Amino acid sequence: MSILEHIEKNQWGYTTEGIPVTLFTLRNENGITVQVTNYGATLVSLYLPDKKGEMEDIILGFDTVSDYEKPTPQNPFFGATIGRHANRIKNGQFSLEGKNYTLAQNNNSNHLHGGLKGFQKQIFQATAFTTVEGPSVRFKRLSHDGEEGYPGNLRVSVTYTLTNDNELKISYTATTDKTTIINLTNHSYFNLAGEGRGNIFDHQLELFANHYTPVEETLIPTGEIKSVKNTPFDFTVPKILGEVLKDLKDSPLEGIDHNFVLNKENSKISLAVRLVEPTSGRVMKIYTTEPGIQVYTGNFVDTYGKEGKHYGKYSGIALETQHFPNSPNQKNFPSTILRPSEVYSSTTIYKFSIVN
């Protein structure tokens, strides 16, 4: 073990191919602890105090590398960095500069979360370091031209920073040598009562989004940007998730799996989400530079996680800051195109606090 001021670095195990995997543990001055791994640049654990000062891990996940290697639905992208393009692309096809590209159809007829392997099952190069804000780990990898069908050699960097202001900051950058598409996000599932401690029904969710993108039966957006008013998706005032999910239990999705259009006109960082769990008193606010956020209430989660705990339906909520699904095929959506002369940059901040 090596220690670099609030950072621990440990060998965590090996992939089925025999590649060593590293686990990094970050601690801030207030005792908050984050664990991340170079396998998929994945957020593994996040320990927060409750209003009594008791620490609990609020991230769904696994104890071993081999569990993270499992295919969906045994591992529904717990904590992973998703790329090259988060969410769905219709029929796994898009056109760019007059050329047609075909990607894996790994979600019904559509392409989901970067393909068969995506970024979530790749090994990243990792560097741990300290900043004035707090301890950090930077993960880098080169996604080669043609990987999963995407054009261009894409150099990607994902940096986790645990600040002494009780924030977890994830910063993404990327460059390409050929025009491509990119849409990166983190796919953590949160349960502010603690992972494995039941469902999220008592969580109160507020979204700073007056609109959402309706979807057809395979969850591809219709292209419409619709007001949330008079729909189950109106979280412009805080709502108790259990009450909303009760109303949606007979819907095809049995819950929420929708993209919300955030109230913003530019890429400046702004408040997107406020999530409260009243029993523990834990509060999470999410700030992002992204134009949208995919909210998934774990409608079909059914697996065994840390310490063999069963994660069933609604065990956690995924809040994926991102560009909209199927953006390459929707001209009225914010573009996910990246050109060789440009630098992709995106930041999401999770800020934690306590209410009594």
267 backbone dihedrals φ, ψ, rounded to 5°: -95, 15
Q: What is the mean predicted confidence (pLDDT) over 122-141? A: 97
3-class SS string, the chain: CEECCCEEEEEEEECCCCCEEEEEEEECCCCCEEEEECECCEEEEEEEECCCCCEEECECCCCCHHHHHCCCCCCCCCCCEECCECCEEHHHEEEECCEEEECCCCECCEEECCCCCCCCCCECEEEEEECCCCEEEEEEEEECCCHHHCCCCEEEEEEEEECCCCEEEEEEEEEECCCEECECEECCEECCCCCCCCCCCCCEEEECCCEEECECCCCCECCCCEECCCCCCCCCCCEEHHHHHHHHCCCCCCCCEEEEECCCCCCCCEEEEEEEECCCCEEEEEEECCCEEEEECCCCCCEECHHHCEECCCCCEEEEEECCCCHHHCCCCCCCEECCCCCEEEEEEEEEEECC
Q: What is the dihedral of CA 83, 11, 24, 187, to 10 degrees?
A: 30
CA 52, 58, 64 angle in degrees (round to 5)? 130
Q: Is the pLDDT of residue 300 over 90?
A: yes
Candidates 6, 111, 187, 323; catalytic one? 187
Q: Tell me if residue 243 is catalytic.
A: no
Instruction: Consult the annotation and say whether 187 binds a ligand.
Output: yes
pLDDT tens profile 253-293: 999 999 999 999 889 999 999 999 999 999 999 999 999 99
Instruction: Consult the annotation and say whether 188 binds a ligand.
Output: yes
Fold of 2-354: Beta-galactosidase; Chain A, domain 5 (2.70.98)
Angstrom distances, CA of residue 252 to CA of 58, 219, 243, 296: 28, 11, 17, 14
Q: Is the pLDDT of residue 3 over 50?
A: no
Candidates 203, 258, 320, 323; catalytic one? 320
What mean pLDDT is reported for the chain? 96
Instruction: Consult the annotation and say whether 282 binds a ligand.
Output: no
pLDDT tens profile 175-218: 999 999 999 999 999 999 999 999 999 999 999 999 999 999 99
What pLDDT, on the 0 to 100 scale, is given for residue 5? 66
What pLDDT, on the 0 to 100 scale, is given for residue 349? 98
Q: Tell me if residue 203 is catalytic.
A: no
Instruction: Consult the annotation and say whether 63 binds a ligand.
Output: no
Q: What is the mean predicted confidence (pLDDT) over 108-131? A: 97
What pLDDT, on the 0 to 100 scale, is given for residue 356? 83
pLDDT band at 2 (very low <50, low <70, confident <90, very high): very low
Strands 93-96 and 317-322: unpaired
